[in-house]
């Protein structure tokens, strides 16, 4: 998906209706919802109507929502069951693993900070014939904070556990194709130039500004479940955009700390009502 690692979410048929200007595909929205309220919560499988209603509140048509559920089942992210005439869905072990990995950074109190001067270098080569694998590797590396220096050479701030990043079952074929090193810049290295070559720093700043401006005012959607889902999807997109670029290279007014404070404040206000709304929906449908 666009914001979570190594989950393909590029089908334009999944796109939500443009009226609400929600810039996320339905799969990204559902995974945001599952990550926030379902993983490790001990809930039963969710009736399809709960998921369809949520996506409808976010501007997704019923046909696109049903197609997304079918596609996520085919991709091994959801398991579909049937109780009478009611379809129900629950996460697979793969999806739970992906969401738990993402939650470590999502819930970090300082997701944009790393020890100064600490970097991870990674070199990998995926055969041209394996474009599907290349796409998944690039998605996982981007989520893990890597930016491309040149073809096949990536760099990330901080110390990245590459074995974990590339160790999930859906990336097993990539395990022997990458070499990683812990690194620090030698004297004379222009770190400022390096950062600006690997990342579009003005675009990263713009992503922070958009998040702060958007969530500093009333939500674009109604309903606590929809708001929490959209907040999570926007936050994941921001984490993907900014891997924690070194503050020393970005100036004293870098907005990462303000973004984090905004997310925490809004999240704390939404979670209780969203949990209550989900419980109400499950009770209404016999769960």
Q: Is the same domain home to 19 and 77?
A: yes
Give percent helix, percent strand, percent coil of the chain, each to the nearest 5: 55, 10, 35
Q: Is the same domain home to 79 and 162?
A: no
Q: Is the same domain home to 279 and 221?
A: yes
Q: Let me know if residue 16 belongs to a domain.
A: yes
For residue 237, pLDDT beyond 80: yes
**Mean pLDDT value across residues 64-69:** 97
**Mean pLDDT value across residues 20-24:** 61
Q: Is the same domain home to 81 and 1?
A: yes
pTM: 0.85
Q: Is the same domain home to 111 and 124?
A: no
Q: Is the same domain home to 46 and 139?
A: no
Which of 157, 184, 211 terminates a domain? The answer is: 184
pLDDT at position 16 is 33
Query: What confidence tens digit (pLDDT) does each residue in 68-124 have?
Result: 999 999 999 999 999 888 899 999 998 998 899 889 889 999 999 888 889 999 888
Contact of 168 with 93, CB cutoff 8 Å: no
Which of 184, 208, 235 terminates a domain? The answer is: 184
**Mean pLDDT value across residues 23-39:** 94
pLDDT at position 171 is 63
pLDDT at position 7 is 54
CATH number, domain at 49?
A: 1.10.10.10
Q: Is the same domain home to 31 and 171?
A: no
3-class state of residue 274 by DSSP: helix
Q: Let me know if residue 193 belongs to a domain.
A: no
Q: Let me know if residue 195 belongs to a domain.
A: no
Q: How many CB atoms lie within 10 A of CB 39?
A: 18
Query: What confidence tens digit (pLDDT) does each residue in 123-156 have?
Result: 887 777 777 777 778 888 888 889 988 888 899 9
Q: Is the same domain home to 161 and 231?
A: no
**Mean pLDDT value across residues 42-70:** 96
Enumerate the β-bridge partners of residue 80: 89
For residue 243, pLDDT beyond 80: yes
Cα 274 to Cα 281: distance, rounded to the nearest angstrom? 11
Q: Is the same domain home to 20 and 161?
A: no
Which range of residues forms the domain containing residue 160? 119-184
Query: What confidence tens digit (pLDDT) does each residue in 115-131 have?
Result: 888 999 988 877 777 77
**Mean pLDDT value across residues 146-171:** 82
Which of 139, 159, 184 terminates a domain? The answer is: 184
* Average predicted confidence (pLDDT) for the chain: 85
Q: How many CB atoms lie within 10 A of CB 223?
A: 16
Q: Let me know if residue 101 belongs to a domain.
A: yes
Task: Count up the domains in the chain and report the number.
Answer: 2
For residue 1, pLDDT beyond 60: no
User: Most confidently modeled of 36-50, 120-134, 248-262?
Assistant: 36-50
Q: Let me know if residue 177 belongs to a domain.
A: yes
Q: Let me know if residue 73 belongs to a domain.
A: yes
Contact of 60 with 16, CB cutoff 8 Å: yes
DSSP-assigned letter for residue 263: H
Q: Let me know if residue 51 belongs to a domain.
A: yes
Q: Is the same domain home to 215 and 75?
A: yes
Q: Is the same domain home to 163 and 216?
A: no
Q: Let me know if residue 82 belongs to a domain.
A: yes
Q: Is the same domain home to 172 and 86?
A: no
């Amino acid at each position: 998906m666009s914001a979570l690692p190594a989950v393909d979410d590029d089908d334009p048929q999944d796109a939500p209706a443009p009226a609400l200007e929600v810039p996320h595909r339905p799969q990204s929205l559902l995974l945001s919802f599952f990550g926030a309220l379902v993983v490790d919560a001990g809930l039963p499988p969710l009736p399809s109507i709960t998921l369809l209603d949520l996506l409808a509140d976010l501007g997704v048509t019923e046909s696109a929502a049903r197609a997304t559920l079918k596609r996520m089942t085919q991709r091994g992210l959801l398991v579909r069951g049937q109780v009478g005439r009611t379809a129900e869905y629950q996460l697979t072990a793969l999806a739970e693993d992906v969401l738990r990995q993402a939650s470590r950074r999502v819930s970090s109190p300082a997701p944009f900070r790393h020890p100064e001067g600490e970097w991870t270098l990674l070199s990998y080569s995926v055969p041209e014939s394996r474009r599907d694998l290349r796409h998944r590797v690039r998605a996982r590396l981007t989520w893990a904070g890597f930016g491309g220096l040149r073809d096949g050479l990536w760099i990330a701030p901080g110390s990245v556990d590459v074995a974990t990043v590339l160790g999930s079952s859906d990336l097993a074929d990539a395990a022997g194709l990458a070499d990683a090193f812990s690194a620090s810049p030698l004297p004379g290295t222009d770190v400022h130039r390096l950062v600006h070559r690997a990342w579009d720093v003005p675009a990263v700043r713009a992503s922070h500004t958009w998040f702060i401006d958007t969530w500093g005012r009333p939500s674009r959607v109604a309903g606590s479940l929809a708001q929490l889902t959209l907040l999570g999807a926007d936050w994941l997109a921001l984490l993907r955009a900014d891997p924690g670029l070194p503050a020393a290279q970005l100036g004293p007014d870098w907005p990462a700390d303000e973004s984090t404070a905004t997310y925490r404040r809004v999240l704390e206000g939404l979670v209780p009502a969203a949990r209550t709304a989900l419980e109400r929906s499950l009770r209404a449908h016999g769960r």
